[in-house]
Structure 1
Amino acid sequence: MNHQDIPARPAADGQDNPSGHGQRPVPPKPSSPPTAGLPRVPATRHVPAGATPAPAPEPPFPIEPPPWRPRQIRPTVLKAAFAVFLVVVVGFLVWLALWLRADGQPTGTGDGDVPGVVETSATPLPSPLPLPREGVAPPDFRLGDCFKDFAPNALKSTIVACDTGHSAQLVAIYRYPATDSYPGSEALKAKALEACQAARLAPAANDYTLNFQRSYPSRTSWDSGDRRADCYVTADGGNVINSSVLP
C-alpha cells in the first residue's frame, strides 16, 4: 500500500496539541477590565413618549445662594425724604427773608423789643403806615423814624419819610422790663446816654451838623407804661436833613 503524507490539521481551540504545529496563539487574559480608571458616564434612561420624567436627584453638595444685591429704596421713601428737605429749605429761606431786608443787609441787632438790650439798626426801618403821620406819641416811635419839627419833650410828634426834610431821627432805644419800678431820672438819663454811645451812623451823617439828644420817661409816663430811653440825632438848623443817617 502506498503511503501519502497528509498535512497535519490544526488542533481545535481548547484541545491539546502536543506537537505545537498548526496551533493559533491565544492572547493572555487582561488583568482588569478595559474600562477601569475611566470616568463613569451615567446611563441615559429612556422615557416613553407621554410619560412624566422622574425628578432629578438632589445634588450631594449644598447649592450656594445667589450673590448679595443692595436693597432697592422704594420711590415713596425718596419722595418723603425730598419733601422733608424741601420744608427745611423753605423754612430757612423764610427765616432769612425776615432777618434780611430786600437789599440784603441786616435789619439790626436782632434784639428788637427785648428789655435790657440797647437796640440799634444797620438800616432804617420802613414805617408800616403811610407818611407823614401826625400826633404820634413817643411809645409808638420806631427805630429809624424821622421827625419834622422835633422837640424831645413833646407829647406828640410828626413822622415823615426820611428822604424829605426833617430835623431828627431815632437811632437807638433802651427798653426797661415792664415789671421794673421807676429808677429815677439820673438812671434813665444814663441809660439814654448808653444808647447814644451804641448808635451807629452812616457817612451821610457827616453832611449835616448833628447832635445827640436823649429822651426818657417822666415819673408820670413811667406809671402809664412808658419804659423807653431813646437816643436821637437832631439838626440845629431845623428840617435840613434829607436822608437817613443810619447805615
Structure 2
Amino acid sequence: MNHQDVPPKPASPPTAGLPKVPAKNPAAQNHAAGRNPAPAPPPASVTWSRPLPEPEQPPSRRVRPGTQRTLWKVLFGVVLVAVVGGLVWLAMWLNSGAGSEEARGNPGVLETSATPRATPLPLPREGVQPGEYALGDCFADFDPEALASRMVPCDTAHSAQLVAVFRYPDSEAYPGAEALKAKALEACQAAKLGPAANEYQLNFQRSFPSSTSWDSGDRRVDCYVTAPGGNVINASVLP
C-alpha cells in the first residue's frame, strides 16, 4: 500500500458536510419528553365585551285589501267634491262677471225678434223717418243715409229689411263713433235669420246715430240685410 494514498486522520469530526437539523420547540420537546409544559404568563389586563343586542324593528303594518279600497273611495270622493266645487265657482264667477260688465256701462236692449210688429198698416208708406223704423220693417230702394224711406210689405219687392236693433238708455252719454260701429256689428252678429235668407244674396249694413242725432234723443243702432241687386227680395228673411 502506498502511504501517500491514505488520508491523514482528522483532528476533529467534520461539520461542513453534515445536514443541519432545526431546533425543536421547547414545549414540543417537553411534551415529547413526557413533561408538563410551563404555564404561559397571564396577560396584564383583560377586557370583556358583551355583544350588543340587535335593535328591535317596528312591526310592519300591512293595509288590508278592504281598508285600501276604502282609502281609494275617500280620495276619489274628495277629488270629486273639489272638481264640482270648482265648476260651480267658475259658473258663478262668469255670471257675476257678465252682470258687472253690463252694470259698468254697457246697458241697453237688443231686439232680434219682430213679434209683435210695431209698424201700423196699411203699407206702403212714404217718407218714414228712421226714428219710426221697427224691427222687421222692409224698405224699397233703401238708402241707410237718407232722412226718410219708403216702407213696403215684406212679401212685395224690396231691397232691405231691419233685422236687429240695439237701444241705449236715455241717460247714456255719447260713446263715440267707433263704439257705436262695434255695437252695430254685435247686433248684426246676433241677428236671427230664417230660411228665406238662403234664397237671396244679402249683405249686412249698419246704421248708428251721429253726435248731433244723439243729442236729439236718437239712441238706437240698427242692422239691416240688403240686396246689392236692388228690389229683388220678396219675403221676410226673419224666422
So what's the TM-score if we normalise by structure 1?
0.52
The residue type equivalent to 1:218 in the other structure is: S
Partner of 2:48: none
Residue identity matched to 1:207: E
Give yes or no for the alignment of 1:131 onto 2:123. Answer: yes
**Quick one: which of 226, 229, 232 aligns to 1:234?**
226
Q: Aligned partners of 1:175, 1:161: CA distance in 2, in Å?
A: 24
| Contact 1:192–1:215, Cα closer than 8 Å, also in 2 | yes
CA 1:140–1:220 in structure 2 vs 1: closer, same or farther (change >3 Å)?
A: same
**Aligned mate of 2:175, from 161, 170, 183:** 183
1:246 is aligned to: 238
Cα shift at 1:180:
1.1
Given residue 184 of structure 1, which amino acid in structure 2 is its aligned partner?
G
1:209 is aligned to 201
Give ranges in structure 1 of 5+ residues lacking alignment.
Answer: 1-114
The amino acid of 1:234's aligned partner reads: T
Secondary structure of 1:233's aligned partner: strand
How far apart are the structure 1 equivalents of 2:227 and 2:115? 20
Runs of 4+ in 1 over 4 A off after TM superposition: none
Amino acid at match of 1:170: L
CA-based RMSD of the aligned residues comes to 1.4
Alignment counterpart, residue 166 of structure 1, candidates 143, 158, 165: 158
State the SS of the aligned residue for 2:157.
coil
- Any conservation in 1 of the 2:114–2:135 contact (CA below 8 Å)? no
1:238 aligned counterpart, secondary structure: coil
Q: Does 1:221 align with 2:213?
A: yes
Count residues with an aligned counterpart. 133
Aligned to 1:142: 134
Counterpart in the other structure of 1:193: 185
Deviation at 1:140, TM superposition (A): 0.7
Match of 1:24 in 2: none
Deviation, 1:127, is: 3.0
User: 1:124·1:143 contact (CA, 8 Å) conserved in 2?
Assistant: no
Q: For 1:237, give the aligned amino acid.
A: G
- 8 A Cα contact 1:124 1:244, kept in partner: no
- In the TM superposition, what is the alpha-carbon distance from 1:122 to its structure 2 partner? 5.9
Structure 2 counterpart of 1:205, one-letter code: A
Paired residue type of 2:213: S
CA deviation digits over 1:37-57, x for unaligned, max 9? xxxxxxxxxxxxxxxxxxxxx
Q: Distance in 2 between matches of 1:127 and 1:242?
A: 18
